[in-house]
């Protein structure tokens, strides 16, 4: 496990800022404890600094993972968030969409969020910005990209796509064989 290079750190933080906005500093300094980002086999992990220092005594081939996997770098050096990052991003989310009970299952089966399924939506969400999708009981379900701004959503047809799904908690079941491979 190694530290991220400046270029890698920039790419990861740009991706994360699309979802949590200005809360990047809270991501690193959480509840008085320092957290760091480490990379192992193209996967980026979010781990406390104390545990990361302890992990240096474990040989790289013997270390499978450490902390929470935020995502991975593709072969073209782009960063893709994994569903495992949801618990880290949910408390810090800047843009949120709450889905009604009738829209939870279609979203968890891998479909986009329609306007008819939205119960609430954060104010001033711009178009093509990262959003976190919650159930009406504030359970984080996944994340995606807004297809329309908040103002456009309010005047859209009920069958219009409002959030393009990128990842949801249903992936734990659908992709369990390849999620951590």
Whether 181 maps to a domain, the answer reads no
Count of domains forming the chain: 2
Same domain (yes/no): 65, 110: no
Same domain (yes/no): 8, 81: yes
Strand partners, 66: none
| pLDDT tens figures, 126-174 | 999 999 999 999 999 999 999 999 999 999 999 999 999 998 988 777 7
Instruction: For 6-28, give one letter per residue: b (16+ CB within 10 A) or e.
Output: eebeebbbebbebbbeeeeeebe
Q: What pLDDT sits at residue 94?
A: 87
Q: How confident is the model at residue 56 (pLDDT cuts 50, 70, 90)?
A: confident
Asked which of 67, 89, 111 is the last residue of a domain, the reply is: 89
Asked which of 89, 109, 131 is the last residue of a domain, the reply is: 89
Taking the model in full, what pTM does it have? 0.85
| pLDDT tens figures, 76-105 | 999 999 998 999 999 999 899 999 999 999
Phi/psi of residue 137, each to 5°? -95, 20
Same domain (yes/no): 82, 39: yes
Give residue 126's domain range: 95-174
The predicted model gives 26-51 an average pLDDT of 87
Whether 129 maps to a domain, the answer reads yes
Asked which of 56, 89, 122 is the last residue of a domain, the reply is: 89
The predicted model gives 19-31 an average pLDDT of 84
């Amino acid at each position: 496990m190694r530290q991220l290079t400046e270029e890698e750190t920039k790419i990861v933080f740009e991706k994360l800022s699309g979802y949590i906005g200005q809360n990047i500093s809270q991501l690193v300094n959480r509840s008085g404890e320092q957290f760091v980002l480490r990379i192992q086999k193209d996967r980026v992990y979010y781990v406390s600094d104390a545990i990361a220092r302890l992990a240096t005594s474990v040989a790289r081939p013997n270390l499978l993972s450490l902390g929470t996997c935020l995502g991975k770098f593709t072969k073209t050096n782009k960063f893709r968030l994994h569903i495992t990052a949801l618990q880290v991003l949910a408390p810090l989310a800047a843009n949120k969409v709450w889905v009604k009970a009738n829209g939870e299952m279609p979203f968890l089966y891998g479909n986009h969020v329609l306007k008819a399924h939205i119960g609430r939506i954060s104010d001033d969400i711009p178009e093509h910005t990262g959003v976190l999708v919650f159930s009406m009981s504030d359970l984080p379900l996944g994340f995606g990209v807004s297809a329309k701004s908040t103002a456009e959503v309010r005047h859209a047809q009920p069958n219009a796509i409002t959030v393009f799904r990128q990842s949801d908690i249903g992936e734990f079941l659908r992709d369990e064989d390849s999620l951590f491979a």
